[in-house]
Amino acid sequence: MPELPEVETTVAGLRSVLQGSVLTRVEPRRADLRFPIPVDLRQRMTGATVTGLSRRAKYGLIETDRGDMMIFHLGMSGRWRIDPAEIGTHDHLLLETAGGRVLALNDPRRFGSIDLVRTEAWQAYAPFTRMGPEPLGPAFDVAMLAAALKGKATSIKAALLDQRVVAGLGNIYVCEALNMAGIAPTRPAGKIGRPRLALLVAAIRDVLSAAIVAGGSTLRDYARPDGELGYFSKQWRVYGREGESCPCGGAVQRRIDGGRSTFFCAQCQK
């Protein structure tokens, strides 16, 4: 599933094509993805000028001069394709600009979503009202994380995957950050002291920033909008590396937690 760095990379790719452009064609090619596509999407977006593109957690935000914002989620296998040579079966939404550029939202598994809200009310969009702060934003710091984890008996890995604690973190980057900070994924979240939480906050910021620079991780169907593959997977410390060496020299292990693979090193993560 595309995580925060992949969505950030996607938004940057879309910005290079859409920012300041007039949408001359907005064509949903089916009625729904994971949820119904707004029936008035074509009417409200056609002819609009794109005034801004941004990201909230794992969602992309496309603003227009009409006061509407299109919110997209890439689900498990979604990606935008820029100027595709041909339109495929799994291209479920097409956007065309006055400059002749074409964007296709491709989602074979259809777990993604497209929604439309008024720009002034975007923060009241239901999924956003339950989210914690952005991990790369100023609100995410040691004091905030300590308060959010206070009294939690759940594992630190499960706590970090809880979007109410911090928004946008996913399995890959939580495994990587915990290894970088030297914290066992099974350690009770509420029993981690501030000095170690400081290491964790820094590790989360560092791993996400590095992944964005690298264009994200290539995982199954994910590719950047220009078709290039992200290469952060070449920098993975533990994720997907069961049986290989951790940077500390220990062996990377894998366990299943909540149906997801957790990669860690018992030698350096305590």
Q: Summarize the annotated binding site as residue ranges.
A: 90, 109, 152
Residue 172: Cβ-neighbour burial (10 angstroms; 0-12, 13-18, 19+): buried
Q: Give Cα separations from 65 to 44, 69, 162, 215 (angstroms).
A: 11, 9, 34, 29
- Residues making up the annotated binding site for DNA are 90, 109, 152
Question: Which residues does the annotation mark as catalytic?
Answer: 2-3, 58, 260
Distance of alpha carbon 199 from alpha carbon 184, whole angstroms: 13
Token representation of residue 134: 């952005």
Among candidates 99, 95, 117, 101, which has minimal Cα distance to 46?
A: 95
Backbone angles phi, psi at 18, to 5 degrees: -95, -30
- Find how far residue 192's CA is from the centre of its chain: 26
Token representation of residue 187: 């350690």
Q: Is 235 left (phi over 0), alpha (psi -120 to 50) or beta?
A: alpha
Which sign does the torsion angle of CA 234, 236, 242, 248 carry? Answer: positive
Distance of alpha carbon 68 from alpha carbon 70, whole angstroms: 7
